[in-house]
Amino acid sequence: MKTPYQPQDIESKWQQYWEDNKTFEVDSNTDKPKFYLLSMFPYPSGVLHMGHVINYTLGDAIVRYHKMLGEEVLSPIGWDSFGLPAENAAIRLGIPPEENTRNNITRMRVQMKRAGWGYDWRRELATSHPGYYRWTQWLFLQFFKKGLAVKKQAPVNWCPNDQTVLANEQVHDGCCERCGTEVIQKDLSQWFFTMSTMAQRLLDNHEKLSQWPDSVIKMQQEWIGRSEGARIDFTVTETGDKVPVFTTRPDTVFGVTFMSIAPEHPLVEKLVIGTPQEEKVMAEVKRMRQMGTSVKELVGMEKEGVFTGFHITNPVNGDKVPLWVANFALMSYGTGAVMSVPAHDQRDYEFAKKYDLPIKVVIKPEDIDLDPKTMTEAYVSEGLQINSGPFDGKPNKAAMPEIINWLDENGFGAKTINYSLRDWLLSRQRYWGVPIPIIHCNDCGAVPVPEDQLPVTLPKSVEFKPTGESPLKQCTDFINTTCPSCGKPAKRESDTMDTFVDSSWYMYRYIDPRNEDAVFDSDLVNKWAPVDFYIGGIEHATMHLIYSRFFACVMQDMGLIKFQEPAKRLFCQGMVCKTSHYCNTCKWLHETEVKDGKCSKCGETVVSEVSKMSKTKLNTVSPDEIMNKFGADTMRLYILSDTPPDRERIWSEDGVQGAYRFLRRLWDLVHDKMPDLETTKDGDSSNDKNLLRVTHNTIKQATGDIDQNIQFNTALARIYELVNAIKSANNCSGKALREAIETVLKVLSPITPHICEELWSKLGHTQSLLDSSWPKVREEALKEDEITVVVQINGKVRGKLAVAPDISKDDLLAMAKADEKVAPMLEGKQIVKEIVVPKRLVNLVIK
RNA sequence: GCGAGAGUGGCGAAACUGGCAGACGCGCUGGACUUAGGAUCCAGUGGGGCAACCUGUGGGGGUUCAAAUCCCCCCUCUCGCACCA
């Protein structure tokens, strides 16, 4: 009996069915081929947004497709639940982070189930759960034992608002990526993972990542920033202090006319203190260090510096050149000191011009001479060495390796490869994170907490006030302890870990989530990992996706895992955007507050633009609202239709409507056709053939689009074609009609599982669609009796021929020439060339 | 500045290895039906033209029988990085 399409009823019914039948629960010990799909886990903010919807719907569709291929599919979900928002909520609202997080997870779990995303919920994990962070601490201790976790004094990025240190990756445009406050520099003793030692390996391993997007690989390469060159050891003329520099242009070493060092360089204070120029230099240094590092400031920033009063001896020629503190020298790159060659480096050139420093040419173009007095910019192209001692007359490019060898032989320096990748600063002066399992003892130093005492549990009663120190520092019960080594009173480390540590290994814990004896069972992890298909946002390209690669390398070295890349295939989904409206007086407006391009509150003209959905821009759409109105299937269908999932998508209310109407039409269509399926009489054979050809073409195209291209928009286009074909199919056999309809339900089911399951069961099936198999293409069904071949004259289409697919070239040509539209155009002309592309076209070139 | 990607109807977009540009959908136009619905069905829909036909994939050149697709130059937009020595 036909009932109207009631998505909510159907959806809760099938969600219950999947739960009751443990459909998404995975047997780790299965013999079936395995497939591990992972969508990046969410931060439990308390409410799903459309970014989650695209991420998890895409993942779920691929999971369901692979289940239908007969694979054992692991699809877990969890919570990246440590982090600042929960702590900020505690400060603002007084809700303890743990409670807040728990409530948020509960709410979001309900939403996720409602969306029909199939997960093995038995494997759910939260990084803030002691059962999880115990092993984060354990891993930290392994890193510590291997010397990969070290504490060192370093200038760090400090957010004055969040009162915490930020990793370089968390600073955007000189501002905190979370709150937007301008970041300042501060010297602190901090824990680091020595990730920079892994730079080359991370770079080399990119070749294993052929199924990652090129853009991500490129970004990582740039981030790791390998450059080849030389270290050259200069000395302070007056004191003999060594000043090593890194340069990619050792061929210009004879042209050094001054040296620039970063304001933070330790040598500055060491040299200048107690000299007459101390006051002036230190004042300048202080000013330079306070200057922002934001893009805007840097671009327009004038090169500035101050002379230290000291000189530097160039080892290669004994030249004595002035030592300057310069704002363009970066402490964080190379050695913090730059050999400055104004003739051949534009920055050095500008600096030299400004402070009237000498310019010495050591590379000249072949045909002309360069005069420092008339040069208007640095000469950075290739040329011949001059004023370069033993290398005069040689082309600079060829001389480069010789110069490096010569530096090495004479003890002046050595070949060096420099990386921009820095060590990973993981200390955070905040409460809501994993406590670093270290005890500081006056006698024994930094002592690791013994493994049998893990986890070091976060205390619950703490005072949440941003003081610049971890709230844990105020918590004496937590802080005061005894040294595990000597037994004397000692203090616990009060900093917690960057949450990126938590997310660097979660993909393995899902495989063995409740193991209390080990971080995980290595055999199981080696069986299921690496992740076959990893889905997440491009914003993680240089953070999470480098950190977790680093972890995998270390864990492989430790023997925990046998591979060194966490994911075989990576897919980055696009952002969900929507038009936002801005009024100069009333600021951001809801769509409903805009009438005819004017603000309905003040009447002013509104500026509208498409931008990423965000709370501040008031252009978000709530998944709950969509599910209430139309159901989860409509939301899922809409989010995967129209736009390829890796591209930015612009939200359209009409598009959602369209998706809903399609499902309703499908519902009606299947019900209407049901009586016809029972007829045993033969239909018209050519009608059957046509319907089945469309059916199998849909299977062929849609399978490729889902499996390889991850293009649900085009897969859906083929499904729509098939639905249209079913709609207009008359006088077909019940068998053919059934095959066509069941194909629609199968191929559509990964996208809109609930309605498909319901219709599938109404067609008499007692098992879930997920227990049926993905349809296979019957090649003979694709064969066409007649195809259209285009006839062109001089490349323009002039006629069309309906022919048998296996027609001979000669016959085809003859038919083309005889075509009623073509023939008259050939009269009196000479055919110069005849091109026949079988099954496609005939092109006649005439004069 | 460096690196990457993109530019196709009113809109989201298709187009295999160079072979009928605009699949599929939204919107729109006209019609049908009606239990008047956020419905359904039929027809049309790149632009110009009554038409035959002409024209059309950011702009300009080129290769080719044939170019959205390949090559060169230019423009615009998006993203990432950025005083990297």
ipTM of the complex: 0.94
User: Which nt sits closest to A214, CA to C1'?
Assistant: B4
Confidence at residue A293, expressed as pLDDT on a 0 to 100 scale? 47
Cα–Cα distance, A463 to A701 (Å, whole number): 60
Taking the C1' atom of every nucleotide in all shown strands and the CA of A219, the nearest one is B80
Phi, psi (rounded to 5 degrees) for A669 = -60, -50
Which residue is the nearest neighbor of B67, CA to C1'? A795
For residue A154, the model assigns a pLDDT of 78
> Which residues does A592 contact at the CB level (< 8 Å), separation at least 6?
none
Strand order in the sheet with A184-193: A164-166, A149-159, A184-193, A424-425
The predicted-structure confidence for A470-518, as pLDDT tens digits, reads as follows 788 889 999 999 999 999 999 999 999 999 999 999 999 999 999 999 9
A633-654: pLDDT as tens digits = 999 999 999 899 999 999 988 8
Distances (CA, A) of A251 to A255, A366, A368, A392, A559: 9, 16, 19, 11, 44
Nearest to A281 by CA among A311, A312, A310, A308: A308
Average pLDDT on A662-689 reads 86
Residue A300: the pLDDT is 55
Residues 6+ away with beta carbon under 8 Å from A96:
A90, A460
- Report pLDDT digits (tens) over A108-166: 999 999 999 999 999 999 999 999 999 999 999 999 999 999 999 877 778 888 777 77
Q: How confident is the model at residue A600 (pLDDT cuts 50, 70, 90)?
A: confident
A47 CA vs B67 C1’ separation (Å): 49
Looking at residue A802, its pLDDT comes to 86
Handedness of CA A590, A592, A595, A597 (dihedral sign): positive
* CB hemisphere CA count around A609 (13 angstroms): 8
Chain A 318-357 contacts with nucleic strand B (CB below 7 A): 327-339, 345, 347
- Which residues from 604-663 of A have any strand B atom under 7 Å from their CB? 629, 641-644, 647-650, 652-655, 657-658, 661-662
Rounded mean pLDDT, A59-85 = 96
CB A195 within 8 A of CB A424: yes
- What average pLDDT does chain A have? 91
Instruction: Report the range of poorest mean pLDDT among A204-218, A262-276, A309-323, A675-689.
Output: A675-689
- Residue A334, token pair as written in the block: 């190379």
Q: State, as a whole number of angstroms, the distance between the CA of A707 and the C1' of B14.
A: 18
| Long-range contacts, A601-607 (Cβ 8 Å, 24+) | A606/A581, A606/A582, A607/A581, A607/A582, A607/A583
Strands A337-340 and A424-425: unpaired
DSSP, collapsed to helix, strand or coil, labels residue A24 as coil
* Distance, CA of A551 to CA of A66 (rounded, Å): 28
Q: How far is CA A496 from CA A105, A500, A725, in A?
A: 22, 12, 61
Break chain A down into helix, strand, coil percent, rounded to 5: 40, 20, 40
Check whether A562 has a pLDDT greater than 70. yes
DSSP state of A433: S
Cis peptide before A455 (omega within 30 of 0): yes
Across all strands, nucleotide nearest A821 (CA–C1'): B52
Q: In this structure, which long-range contacts are made by residues A465-474, counting pairs with CB atoms below 8 Å and at least 24 apart in sequence?
A: A465/A91, A466/A91, A466/A162, A466/A163, A467/A163, A468/A163, A468/A429, A469/A429, A469/A494, A470/A428, A470/A429, A470/A430, A470/A431, A470/A494, A470/A495, A470/A496, A471/A430, A471/A431, A472/A431, A472/A435, A472/A496
Instruction: Report yes or no: A605 and A592 within 8 Å, Cβ to Cβ.
Output: no
CA of A655 to C1' of B11 (A): 10
The pLDDT of residue A297: 46
Nucleic strand B contact set for A 205-224 (CB, < 7 Å): 214-215, 218-219, 222-223
Amino acid, res. A372: P
Burial class of A471 by CB neighbour count within 10 A (0 to 12, 13 to 18, 19+): buried
- The model's pLDDT over A196-245, given as tens digits with 9 standing for 90+, comes to 999 999 999 999 999 999 889 999 999 999 999 999 999 999 999 999 99
A589, containing H or E segment? strand A587-589
User: In the 8-state DSSP scheme, what is residue A195?
Assistant: G
Q: How confident is the model at residue A608 (pLDDT cuts 50, 70, 90)?
A: confident
User: Rounded CA gap, A291 and A284, in Å?
Assistant: 11
Distance A554 CA to B64 C1' (A): 55
Distance CA A777, CA A785 (A): 18
Convert the pLDDT of each residue in A357-373 to its tens digit.
999 999 998 888 889 98
pLDDT tens-digit series, residues A1-47: 568 899 999 999 999 999 999 999 999 888 999 999 999 999 999 99
Taking a C-beta distance cutoff of 8 angstroms, is the pair A101, A126 a contact?
yes
Residue A169: predicted pLDDT: 63
Alpha carbon distance A195, A327 (integer Å): 27
* Res A679: pLDDT: 76
Residue-level length of chain A? 847
Task: List, for residues A241-298, the tens digit of each pLDDT value.
Answer: 999 999 999 999 999 999 999 998 999 999 999 999 999 999 998 888 766 543 334 4
pLDDT number for residue A296: 38
Helices (H), A1-40: 7-20
Least confident piece of the model among A177-186, A346-355, A722-731: A177-186
Q: Does residue A714 approach strand B to less than 7 Å at its CB?
A: yes
Q: What is the pLDDT of residue A64?
A: 98
pTM over 0.90: yes
pLDDT at A76: 98
- Give CA–CA dist A207/A549, Å, rounded: 13
Which protein residue lies nearest to nucleotide B65, measured between its Cα and the C1' atom? Answer: A845
Q: Which two tokens stand for residue A775?
A: 């349809």
Q: A665 beta carbon < 7 A from strand B?
A: yes
| Distance (Å, whole) CA A612 – CA A577 | 4
- The pLDDT-based confidence of A596 (bands split at 50, 70, 90) is confident
Residues 171-200 of chain A with CB under 7 A from strand B are: 172
Q: Among all chains, which residue has been given the structure tokens 């076209």?
A: A841
Main-chain phi, psi angles of A301, to 5 degrees? -70, 130
* Overall average pLDDT of the A413-426 stretch: 93
Name the nt closest to A642 by C-alpha to C1': B12
More confident call, A827 vs A320: A320
Least confident window among A54-63, A181-190, A472-481, A620-629: A181-190
